[in-house]
Amino acid sequence: MNNIVKIQKVSVIMKFLCGIALIALPAFTFYCWLLLDSETFLSLLQESIPIQTQYIGLSNRLLALVPGLIPIALLMRGAWHLRRLFGLFAVRAFFHEEIAQRLHGFAFMLVFSVLAKPVAGALSSAALTMNYPEGERSISVTIESGDLTTLFIGVIFLIIAWVLREAHQLSKENAEIV
């Protein structure tokens, strides 16, 4: 089996996995925020605030879910771009102009999901603690080292997409000259 066929097969698998991610990301998010019992749910949260289960009801969880969906939606859009990218690879469209667009779209969504995460976390923590007694409510803003790594990788992909767009433009200009 030659390398092109291998790339096609891996691309079909990755396209499928990106499709699964488009379904699994929101499904898992809704499941965790709305259906898990309070103790299990709160153990999954990586908040830097003390969580008091007696003050957190379904309304708090619903309000906290809304801003939490913003980074998830951005990641889903990124997965959609990846799915389209691997779809192009699966049909041997290796030099198609859309490759750079899809890579740029994925990287852009990755960067913005990382940037949205601390804001969404702050809003979610405010919603979770809004029923706490006065003086015990809090807002938590967290930036993790994994987020910084993801941000760095996203910026690298943005630069690679930029280079690919410029290379494609140069290729078109050179083809017109000949």
Take residue 65 and report the two structure tokens written for it: 């879910």
- Contact predicate 55/90, CB 8 Å: no
Closest residue by Cα to residue 79 from 32, 31, 25, 29: 25
Structure confidence at residue 162 (pLDDT)? 96
Return per-residue pLDDT of the chain as tens, 178 residues: 799 999 999 999 999 999 999 999 999 998 888 877 767 766 666 556 666 766 677 888 888 889 999 999 999 999 999 999 999 999 999 888 899 999 999 999 999 999 999 999 899 888 888 888 888 777 888 888 899 999 999 999 999 999 999 998 888 888 788 6
Structure confidence at residue 171 (pLDDT)? 85
- Contact predicate 125/140, CB 8 Å: yes
Closest residue by Cα to residue 57 from 24, 86, 33, 30: 33
Closest residue by Cα to residue 32 from 69, 74, 70: 69
Structure confidence at residue 141 (pLDDT)? 83
- Contact predicate 72/25, CB 8 Å: yes
Residue 154 DSSP symbol = H
Structure confidence at residue 46 (pLDDT)? 58
Q: How far is CA 107 from CA 78, 116, 151, in A?
A: 7, 14, 9
Structure confidence at residue 137 (pLDDT)? 77
